[in-house]
Structure 1
């Protein structure tokens, strides 16, 4: 999340907040997202105008916030900055939104790279799940998308398909699996068995193999009823790893 527009969209009720709260949140954006340790009234005003919202009188509100007991904003010769406790309060509120927006943007950016078909349907569903905080569902859908992509990636290249089938014969010599000739033949493999065959055939790197095993465990945890909570950081980890290392990394 790099722009004020994305920051604004990540907060459904920003326009209904008090002017004081809006000023503090924009100050937080300048600190945390833009990486500036100080801001001026003009900087606050410019951020409001960038999203076509009439700005409060920033110079007036900043001074009021600095004069409060205790102050929410501090001032020195270099400009204004959020008081430490106020910054921490806003971290607790806004950092999860920032992370959600970043991962949502990462997923959304793939839509134009994927042709109409099963992969695009799965991706759009994963985005919708993540945006409404349905983190279990977003993990399951992103795994489904990545797994579908992996199988299509293998069958699209004769050398990779040959390596997969060789790995399958080696791994399942006592209970042979179907030799994959067409896409539907993958249905004879459980997901863990698919990874086993890929590993034995050295279809992809050991690091990717380990990552896929880990994400499959997380998918299984999310897909089956349990008392274990699935929170946003877990979804972030699964989604970003699978998107970057499978959907983008394997062409």
Structure 2
């Protein structure tokens, strides 16, 4: 089950919200994610502390929110629950956070699986961009992570390096550049490198298609354009690249 800490840390803008907004969002979390009938002052204080925040004065906030017109909280049998209209509004705003938390957690869990320090730096920046809601930057950093992983993996053994050079030779038909290390790949475009890796049999057709698609999205995100890069696109980019490239090519 999702923890309060996960919900708070991976919900965009949570720590910038007012105490009232945080209180209402935590109440929503308790009702929806923990499936409780309501909350009392003590339980909400625990939620705030679990999120790493000093709790506000519940003896003031809870009655005040229940007394508003229209009310934001409703008190029944000693517990507070969200008023119907507010509950529906928060459902629309927050229901997708389970996906967001899962994506962010997949990134946060990766460092233990990726020993390379350079890749860990890419991971850290990708996660920071995602948590800040900077989805264009997230898309760019996720591509950098996956492409660096691909090229590092493809040149990390003599066998794969030989296959890559053969793929380059066949793909470029005699115009090949001899590759000895990862750094030598700067002589080729990113798309060409992916094509040569596919020709060499280092990646399959599905992996190549994912990389081509995400490279196109990276280009749209990195340059001024009317293309919208939102959370959904960032989720898709991260999930595809992490699952099918970073964790598959070991």
Q: TM-score, normalised by structure 2?
A: 0.77
Q: 1:110 to 1:92 in 2, by over 3 A?
A: same
Q: What residue is the counterpart of 1:17 in the other structure?
A: 19
Aligned to 2:37: 39
Q: Is the 8 A contact 1:177 1:189 kept in 2?
A: no
Which residue pairs with 2:46 in the alignment? 49
Query: Is the counterpart of residue 3 in structure 1 residue 11 in structure 2?
Result: no
The question of whether the paired residues in 1 share the 8 Å contact of 2:191 and 2:212 is answered with yes
**1:155-186 alpha-carbon deviations (Å, 9 max, x no partner):** 1233332332232222221x522132222221
Structure 1 residues 48 and 7: CA distance shift in structure 2, 3 A: farther
CA distance in 2, matches of 1:170, 1:22: 58
C-alpha distance in 2, partners of 1:135/1:71? Answer: 31
CA displacement 1:11-56 (0-9 Å, x = unmatched):
1155x433xx66643342134434x3x52446x8446425436584
Unmatched 5+ stretches in structure 2? none
C-alpha deviation, 1:234, in angstroms: 1.1
How has the CA–CA distance of structure 1 residues 124 and 23 changed in structure 2, closer, same or farther, with 3 Å as cutoff?
A: closer
TM-score with structure 1 length normalisation?
0.76
SS in 1 for 2:226: coil
How many pairs are equivalent? 240
Match of 2:30 in 1: 30
Show CA shifts across 1:41-92 (max 9, x none): 46x84464254365847xxx69x959x868866989xx98756643330023
> Which 5+ residue runs of structure 1 have no aligned equivalent?
none
Output the aligned Cα RMSD: 3.5
Query: Are residues 1:212 and 2:211 paired?
Result: yes
Please tell me whether residue 233 in structure 1 is matched to residue 232 in structure 2: yes
SS in 2 for 1:12: helix
State the distance in 1 between where 2:184 and 2:118 align: 17
